[in-house]
Structure 1
Amino acid sequence: MEAAFGKRLDRVRQASPLVHCISNLVTANDCANIVLAAGASPIMADAPEEVREITALSRALCLSLGTPNPRKADAMFLAGSKAAELGLPVVFDPVGVGASAYRQKIAQKLLQDVPLTVLRCNASELQTLSGQSLVSRGVDAGKAPELETLLPLAGRFAAAHHCIVAVTGAEDIVTDGTTAYGIRSGTPLLRQVTGTGCMLSVLTAAFVGANPEAPLEAAAAAVCMMGLCGERAAASLTGGEGTGTLRIRLMDAVSNMTGEELDQGANYELYC
């Protein structure tokens, strides 16, 4: 079965969904700009006093565990409850969840109280949320398990929480517990730019917000697009250019990619 990733990108550009991002303070500007580059519209609101109203105006909600504090946690719970009330898609990025007991407490409460559409994470974050003991490296991914271990782990989590799991690594996995996409695109240079994971999470929210009837394919399309745009950005670097230029070129690649190019460049395997 061939996925129609390009169709999902075209829908984002046509619908221009408003995406409510309660984001990582370190990466909020890049998150807002990549949502705009994809053709959607960001709103970066994290005050508990207004988040329910903002969520009600939006087509999707993205929650990031990065730079946590009690006020932000309250805002995430309030926004998440409003999204659940309205049936809006919710993307959760458990940034560095293994780094502290505080982050784990917030994450577990969100998993318990807020119906997620997509968990967008790296392998170590998925392992932590799945109850596997490992040594944390802060917000970094650490050493990822082999695909033979990661694929069933992601599938079990997705089935248990009735959500899609999009876990990035050497091969990205996007699964709903029954069907899984193994996506082979990207560049190791993306790991040297702060916030590319956060950017992927808000991009995923834009895709599922514009394609609520096909969240699995929409999430896979977002992951595939981010990887392809990373490849384009890396390939464009010349002598003397480094990760600062890569960050800008990544944004350019997202803003310039067409649905047709996404379909042509998609490199994935479907696991059923």
Structure 2
Amino acid sequence: MSETHTANPEMAELWNGPGARSWITAQALLDEAFRGFETLLADMAAEAGARSVLDVGCGTGATTRAIAGRIAPEGTALGFDLSAPMIEHAQKLADQEDSPARFLAGDAQTHDFPAASFDLIVSRFGVMFFSDPVGAFANLRRAAKPGAALAMISWRAISENPFMTVAERAAAPLLPDLPKRGGGPGQFAFADQGHVHSILDEAGWTGVSSEPVDMMCTFPASALDTYLSLMGPVGHLLAKSDDALRERVMSAIREGFSEYISGPDIQFTAACWLTRATA
């Protein structure tokens, strides 16, 4: 299911276009790499005895399906995302796995969720893209039952996540139009937890707290080219590049990842925040 209205047209264009295509293509790789976060949130839902869970910015739905599997049949999990293609893919995967998870495409900033309907709201890397974060979290608070918990994973600073910018640093001499990170909605928009706490406070959440989480992430080294050619600013530019430039860039950035190769795998530490609050 999906809706058409969005208050965030720039992100809607990205995540219903090239961003969606990249994530769907790399879905299995990314699910494997970030499985530790999926397990963390699913464990939290089960331990809390959650019965109605909303997964915001669910992407292709791995965390939603994991939570649904842990709390069914008494509980339900709804995955929600701005990207209609990713929601369609998430539902297909749920159907293939016979998962009870449900999925809906829409803009969490403005979607008319049933009031006081969720006792837990979670997100794995899905809340850093709002054009109006205060409005978005106020809308999510209205959807939460009194006393419901919020638990979300977001990235710490770029400087603490060097793996995420290896490709950009190596490719910069060959891609002069490579956009700079920082400013506005995006992967590292919630790195400053003081800023995030003020957003949640203004949106009406209480008891806001944050703790650092350092998660070891792994995916097969044989999938590195897939990762490099699809993800981040470099991947987006490579999709528009000719074959000769693409190969020069790929050659330049493969070497930069050599320090992350461990046997047959790529391993890196994801430096993140686990932020919690109460409705």
TM-score by length of 1: 0.34
Greater fraction of residues in strand: 2
- Where relative contact order (Cα < 8 A, 6+ residues apart) is larger, the structure is 1
Greater fraction of residues in helix: 1
TM-score by length of 2: 0.33
